[in-house]
Amino acid sequence: MDLVVRGRRVLTPQGWRAAEVGVRDGVIVEVADLGAGLDATETLELAEDEVLIPGLVDTHVHVNQPGRTEWEGFASATRAAAAGGVTTIVDMPLNSVPPTTDVAALDVKRAEAEGGVHVDVAFWGGAVPGSAADLAPLHDAGVMGFKCFLVDSGVEEFGHLDAAELERDLAELARLDALMVVHAEDPGVIGAAPEPHGPRYADFLASRPPAAEEAAIATLLGAAARTGARVHVLHLSDAAALPLITRARAEGVRVSVETCPHYLTLEAEDVPDGATAFKCCPPIRGAANQDALWQGLLDGAIDIVVTDHSPSTPDLKALDTGDFGEAWGGVASLQLGLAAVWTEARSRGVALEQVVRWMSTSPAALVGLDRKGAIAPGKDADLAVLAPEDSFDVDPARLHHRNPVTPYAGRRLTGVVRRTLLHGRTITDVPTGTLLRRGDA
């Protein structure tokens, strides 16, 4: 074997084990009891305070290259991912120019990423008005599924679908057995809410009410029920929408749900006025809502936790004026997601293996990356060495994100990623990530 990793706490699908993990050609070939003495060219012994977990799979990342590479790019995003224990990302189809709404645009993205990524990278396609004929070709070209918006996306080149277009596209995706992932806020409800303006967080919160999520999710669930398509609710913020989803699921609708680290760890009550680093859509809501999101995760109503890493340049965050109406909406946390969620989980008595399921195993399953998300024979040797009781203070200068604007600045987080391995090799400054197509891995 090329590598054996030995540790007292290795997370396997059967639970924690004192184990030796044997790797050949980038793939886990054996998991044996510690002491078995697996033989390999290279050996990695975990320290007493370290555990071995599968690398995280983050299915919601905006890389923005090409077109808005000053916001983020493949090299910087994947370096941040690696530093945070993330070994696979799935890139969102928008904020790059061109957006990934046809095969030519996907080819452009793949060419930009090729040879320059530090973790494995897969791609979402985009579903926009008038793009129905491009869905099947993009599916055949290997995207993991399709993203659409039901409300203004924030960038003009990526339009949103109305209810009729959504249903037409879902019928096509049902035929392809492809997944539609949806930004679910309702434009009518948001249009009727007060416009966001000025530095008060409460005013911003009032501009994106929970009812906007509930209305859009109801629209989506209706269309999913009629077409039989598989749908996924992106970045759920409003926990009150969960009963709608669980009811639909019980009736046979194929729906899954994600939430994000910022909704699980940050609270509206604590957002300082003018602190536009906290602006995202849908917004970070109050503490009681956050408790209900955690309950949703524990109940199984929410399937996965992924970052929605969506950076921009500091000037677009309107840091100087602190105006929530002007600021770009997006939180960048690819490097911090695991530590942020684990810190909160730990304080709530939630086990690390649950966090790993939500952030690695289940996201891999969502997009069908069958060789990711577990430490078991036959899986890719994508691994993170974590010191779960070690802590650090978030220093933006130490983030690899191109624009290290973060609402976590100064926070003490628990859980230090000491090393990340991709295909059995420690991730270094040399990019060794691969580009994944649906069905590849």
Q: Which residues bind Zn ion (CB under 5 A)?
A: 308
- Please report, for residues 41, 43, 381, 421, 422, the alpha-carbon distance to residue 6 in angstroms, rounded to integers and kept in the order given: 14, 8, 14, 14, 17
Question: What minimum distance in Å lies between the beta carbon of 397 and Zn ion?
Answer: 25
d(CA 151, CA 187): 5
Question: What minimum distance in Å lies between the beta carbon of 307 and Zn ion?
Answer: 9
Q: For Zn ion, give the closer residue by CB, 91 or 380.
A: 91
Question: What minimum distance in Å lies between the beta carbon of 62 and Zn ion?
Answer: 6
Question: What minimum distance in Å lies between the beta carbon of 314 and Zn ion?
Answer: 19
Q: For Zn ion, give the closer residue by CB, 165 or 308.
A: 308
d(CA 87, CA 441): 13
Q: For Zn ion, give the closer residue by CB, 308 or 323.
A: 308
Question: What minimum distance in Å lies between the beta carbon of 190 and Zn ion?
Answer: 17
- Please report, for residues 27, 34, 135, 273, 420, the alpha-carbon distance to residue 277 in angstroms, rounded to integers and kept in the order given: 39, 45, 34, 11, 28
Are the CB atoms for 355 and 424 separated by under 8 Å?
no
Q: Which amino acid is at 184?
A: A
Q: What does residue 292 show for φ and ψ, rounded to 5 degrees?
A: -70, -30
| Parallel/antiparallel/unpaired status of strands 86-91 and 56-61 | parallel
Displacement of CA 200 from its chain's centroid (Å) = 28
Annotate 233-289 with three-state secondary structure. Answer: ECCCCCHHHHHHHHHHHHCCCCEEEEECHHHHHCCHHHCCCCCHHHCCCCCCCCHHH
Question: What minimum distance in Å lies between the beta carbon of 94 and Zn ion?
Answer: 8
Q: For Zn ion, give the closer residue by CB, 214 or 308.
A: 308
Map tokens 């009629």 to a residue: 226
Cis preceding-peptide flag for 93 (omega within 30 of 0): no
Name the residue with the smallest CB distance to Zn ion: 308
Q: For Zn ion, give the closer residue by CB, 20 or 72.
A: 72
Helices (H), 300-387: 337-347, 352-356, 362-366
Q: For Zn ion, give the closer residue by CB, 23 or 334.
A: 334
Question: What minimum distance in Å lies between the beta carbon of 335 and Zn ion?
Answer: 17
Q: For Zn ion, give the closer residue by CB, 186 or 308.
A: 308
